[in-house]
Structure 1
Amino acid sequence: MVKTHPMWNNFPNIQALLLECLDLIIEKTAIENKEIEKTVTDLVKNKGKLLRPAYFFLFSRLGNATQDAHKNIIAAAASTEVLHLATLIHDDIIDESKMRRGIETVQSKYGKDVAVYTGDLLLSVYFDLLADATDSVEIIKLNTLSMKRVLLGELNQMTNAYNTDITYEDYLKSIKGKTAQLFELSCYQGAYFGQCDSEIIEKSRSIGQNIGIAFQMLDDIMDYTHTPESLAKPILNDVKQGVYTLPLILGMETSDAFLPLLKKGEHLSDSDLATLVSLLHEHDCIARAHEIAKTYSDKALASIEMLPSHPEKDVLYSLTKTLLTSNF
């Protein structure tokens, strides 16, 4: 039986929509190859918080869509989660990650061949769901552009691997693509399919982008402040793979003490990593990174406050505040 994250127990309306969304994904991924079908089903059942479809639904409920639009709304929301899942699988292949959300990754458990085909299957399901949701050329073009931006974000990160001259602007460009783009797409499409007023549709993009940027920054910070057990994933893998995120970028801009360690590249020892973390705290990089992330959280919350009065607006504000403060 498919279940949602416990956080949605306090939001029964959203929880019911998310369950419909998950059931539709499982239905759409039913294929003759049972190994790959089971792989997808296991992935869906071991999903995270379903934040992207959740934001889609929250924005859609700010609008005036009729019951006739319900199936389209479910399909469009499901498409955002399927695209997200496909990117996770492909990320894990590239990173050779063994764990995701506390469970073994597809590529680690079944091999890279199955993982590649599973990711490709999810991309086909993504377009299938999108076709079920709309015949709007504008929306199809928007989704195509969003996929391109996600890819460019990942390529930008790859280009800067082991680059000790990486700037904050380089980092921001990368996360605007790989993470913030899907939050932006989810919020905008929720407002669009929910037939929201033009004011809400107009603001939904920037709200989604700021949520996504803050979310990724905070996730990157946690890599330096949490244990593998608390995160349910290996920590400091990014550094070994040459992915230098916000805290470390601030550190390199502050002191040359980081460079001798980073020159070791993938050969960083556990002792080296511990020294890096100590240096980050010594130069106040963690706290400074939190302050930068907070500016984006504050922008998102301020924009939500400016939305027209609506019962779901309070839920949207509460969820965002909890997501970008309490969990970090």
Structure 2
Amino acid sequence: MQIHPMWADYPTLAPELVATLDLIETKIAPDSVPVKEALLQMINAGGKLLRPAYCLLFSQFKETDREKMIALAAAVETLHTATLVHDDIIDRAATRRNQKTVAAQFGPDVAVYAGDYLFVVCFKLLAQYASSLRSVQKDGTSMERILNGELAQMATRYNYDITIDQYLHQVSGKTGQLFALSCFIGAYEGGNSLAFAKRAETIGLNIGIAFQLRDDILDYTSDATSFGKPVHEDIKQGVYSAPLILAMNDDRAAFRPLLAKKQTMQPEDMRQIATLMSAHDGVAKAQAMAQTYTDKALAGLAKLPAGAAKDTLVQLTQQLLSRQN
């Protein structure tokens, strides 16, 4: 099983990430051949495995059963993949990671069942390997917050008056919760105290918010090939992210006629939006916000016990939150 090239810089972590993917593959055994093919394709599509990586790293502050932690990292990644499969159905996305989405290749029906099956895999792994009911409860709570984040996003589609606080509420659920859960499970199931695990959870939440902010910035500054998915699609779908919201705060009336065109937007409309965003420093303001959350995450990491786990967490977080693609 191959993993993303970025992990070549983390030789002690890479083998456990390979084992995580291998385990997920062995657990994918639905009766439906199309569903199995769809899931295996998604799992092998070259994702970065960031959430299982944080789970594994936060479990390294104490000696612990590595087989158990790899299994719990696999549970986190299957949960993440399930949300991606379902997101792509809702967004009618054609590509992800420079490949056809499950929905685009196999149809929305297969994609729904594929995502549902991954939820089953996630909870079976948790049931088998989690040492405490608290971890299962935390997973359930996180799933609820992820769903509420998605529902909040749906409720604000094409809302020209969306606020930055509403956006942050959405991304705290959508993206922040998965990072927070990964760090909590790694720390708590790694034998640390509940207080330590909650600190890890807060760090993960800040990492997740900063990560989503960077992702949304790239939607305006990157191209589809390097980004791995179509750019500017969110704005056509009425999903307004930080760079646009922060720019609109200065002059919403200027943006409204362009945004009102919705999915009929033409390239010239997008160029006019880009010009307005540049004039109102939307990207720069979003970058400053992303840096604020990055600094919060790094400040939390700085307070962790000294050692290899802390050093690797700092290195990974700095690399992740300064990325350009």
From 78, 91, 94, the equivalent of 2:90 is: 94
Q: Hey, which bits of structure 1, 4+ residues long, moved more than 4 A?
A: none
Deviates more, 1:135-144 or 1:310-319: 135-144
Paired amino acid for 1:120: D
Deviates more, 1:187-196 or 1:151-160: 187-196
Question: 1:63 aligned to 2:26?
Answer: no
Distance 1:240 1:248, change over 3 A: same
Aligned to 1:326: 323
- The correspondence of residues 249-260 of structure 1 with structure 2, limited to 5 A, is 249-255=245-251, 256-260=253-257
Distance 1:71 1:230 in 2: 35
C-alpha contact 1:93 1:115 (8 A) present in aligned 2: yes
CA drift at 1:197: 4.8
User: TM-score if structure 1 supplies the norm length?
Assistant: 0.96
- The correspondence of residues 214-233 of structure 1 with structure 2, limited to 5 A, is 214-233=210-229
Distance 2:237 2:28 in 1: 32
CA drift at 1:233: 1.1
User: What's the CA shift string for 1:9-64, capped at 9, x where partnerless?
Assistant: 12122111111111110111123322211211111111311000000011001223
Aligned to 1:145: 141
CA drift at 1:135: 5.2
Quick one: percent identity of the two aligned structures?
A: 45
What's the secondary structure of 2:122's corresponding residue?
Answer: helix
Q: Which runs of 5+ in 2 are unaligned?
A: none
Count of aligned pairs between the two proteins: 324
Deviates more, 1:228-237 or 1:86-95: 228-237
Distance 1:219 1:250 in 2: 15
Distance 1:326 1:223, change over 3 A: closer
CA drift at 1:136: 2.3
Distance 2:174 2:221 in 1: 22
User: What's the CA shift string for 1:211-237, capped at 9, x where partnerless?
Assistant: 000000110011111111221211111
- The correspondence of residues 239-278 of structure 1 with structure 2, limited to 5 A, is 239-255=235-251, 256-278=253-275
Give the CA RMSD over aligned residues.
1.2
Deviates more, 1:27-36 or 1:294-303: 27-36
C-alpha contact 2:28 2:121 (8 A) present in aligned 1: yes
C-alpha contact 2:175 2:208 (8 A) present in aligned 1: yes
Q: Which runs of 5+ in 1 are unaligned?
A: none
Distance 1:134 1:80 in 2: 12
C-alpha contact 2:179 2:207 (8 A) present in aligned 1: yes
Distance 2:324 2:269 in 1: 28
What's the secondary structure of 2:183's corresponding residue?
Answer: helix
Aligned to 1:38: 37
Question: 1:125 aligned to 2:124?
Answer: no
From 272, 277, 293, the equivalent of 1:280 is: 277
Aligned to 1:73: 69
User: What's the CA shift string for 1:271-293, capped at 9, x where partnerless?
Assistant: 10111111111111111110011
Distance 1:202 1:94 in 2: 32
Distance 2:204 2:31 in 1: 37
Aligned to 1:297: 294
- The correspondence of residues 100-111 of structure 1 with structure 2, limited to 5 A, is 100-111=96-107
Question: 1:52 aligned to 2:37?
Answer: no
What's the secondary structure of 2:249's corresponding residue?
Answer: helix
C-alpha contact 2:130 2:189 (8 A) present in aligned 1: no
C-alpha contact 1:83 1:122 (8 A) present in aligned 2: yes
